[in-house]
Amino acid sequence: MDRFPSGDAKPARLFHSSRFTTARAAILSVATAALLTGCAAETGSGGNPSGETPTSGASADSNSGTAPRSTSASVNPSELVGADKVPGLGDVPTLKLTIEQSYPVLAPPLPTEKNVAAPFVQGLEFEPDGSLLMGTGLYGESQIYRLPQWLDNSAAEPTNVEDLQPELFGEGITRHRDTVWQLTWKEGRAIERDAATLKQRREIPFDTEGWGACSFDDTIVTSDGSGTLTFRSPDDLSAQRQLPVTAAGTETTWLNELECVTVDTDVNPDAAPDAAPAGTDDSNSQSNGDEPTAPQSHREIWANVWQSPFIYRINPEDGKVTGIVDATELFRDLYAQLSPTEQNSIDVLNGIALMPDSSSSTSPNGTRQFLLTGKKWPTAYRVTVSE
Ligand SMILES: [Ca+2]
């Protein structure tokens, strides 16, 4: 989500208005537009981008070749990609989002010693002990750090702060056992880190743009700004499989920050079939043995859609989007907290991390709990997503 389209990048061709075909989509679109317009109206920015932003959406940092992007990224919510532009809306089930709690987002000092109000979030992931890993972007400002035992103390100071070289634009992060991988945007480099200290072990070439990343037990999933995800070796990020993601039969694009979710199923024979996307089978099961009661599981990939308030739930087997979250409510709540100046400083929704503390995070009934935030957002939200 970091990219600010430069004319030649992600063409709008993938956003087919033909998706906007059902009454439900129409209602949702209108509701979303009205809500976002309401957000903008509160800022006094009306339908026009604020400040120096010459173009729409998260385009404040226009990407002009190799020119460093400014840190004054802002996004006008009224210009986010709307319901009529996101494939699958109207055809794929919309999942219910409930805000449970909000938290301040803490950021360590930057290498430049410049203070920032909030981090430019590019990667967000909980560790098993409840610590939160955060990866941030922008040239000269990219970092990775840990918010230790965040579940117990969300105000804890960041630790293990590692600054990236100024020529690197940090992107997705993900932990896989004792390793943390951090992608870079267009630099063709990925960083392997020691999970305990977050210090760099080595740097390896990376074959495409880096956007989001998440991990399953046996593979790492990355996005590159397109609608195709790549499954990679946890050892060296070599590509193993590509997964075109489709929503209601239409190819998607701008898949960004990711979250890999494994859901144990069949533990309780009386449990209702979970929200496994149609077509999901047991091929992903993490077998613990041959006993008939061994838990089985299915997998989901959740993806922020850049420049939009929407999040996809994706079946990693067939690439189909099986549910869509409309997180517009977060913008409305956020804007209610912020001064006009602060409103102009925030950027797009980005950052999704499965909450590690609650059984409802991976309930077989399909309910999930996530921590969601955005670039330069001072607030993160714990939300429940349900059918
Ligand atoms: Ca994540």
d(CA 268, CA 359): 14
**Picking from 11-20, 39-48, 62-71, 371-380, which range would have the lowest pLDDT averaged per residue?**
11-20
Pairing of strands 94-104, 321-326: parallel
Starting from the edge strand earliest in sequence, which strands make up the sheet with 310-314, in order? Answer: 255-265, 296-305, 310-314, 321-326, 94-104, 379-386, 368-374, 349-354
Across residues 317-330, what is the average pLDDT?
Answer: 97
C-alpha of residue 16 to centroid of ligand 1, in Å: 27
pLDDT at 39: 45
C-alpha of residue 299 to centroid of ligand 1, in Å: 15
CA 349, 386, 363, 324: dihedral to nearest 10 degrees? -50
C-alpha of residue 243 to centroid of ligand 1, in Å: 18
C-alpha of residue 213 to centroid of ligand 1, in Å: 7
Look up residue 192 and give its amino acid: E
Look up residue 372 and give its amino acid: L
**Picking from 18-32, 255-269, 298-312, which range would have the lowest pLDDT averaged per residue?**
18-32
Q: What is the pLDDT of residues 190-219, one digit of tens each?
A: 999 999 999 999 999 999 999 999 999 999
d(CA 188, CA 180): 17
C-alpha of residue 280 to centroid of ligand 1, in Å: 22
d(CA 32, CA 48): 17
C-alpha of residue 95 to centroid of ligand 1, in Å: 19
| Residue 34, pLDDT above cutoff 50 | no
For residue 292, count other CB atoms closer than 10 A to its CB.
Answer: 6
Q: Is the dihedral of CA 8, 15, 119, 199 positive or negative?
A: negative
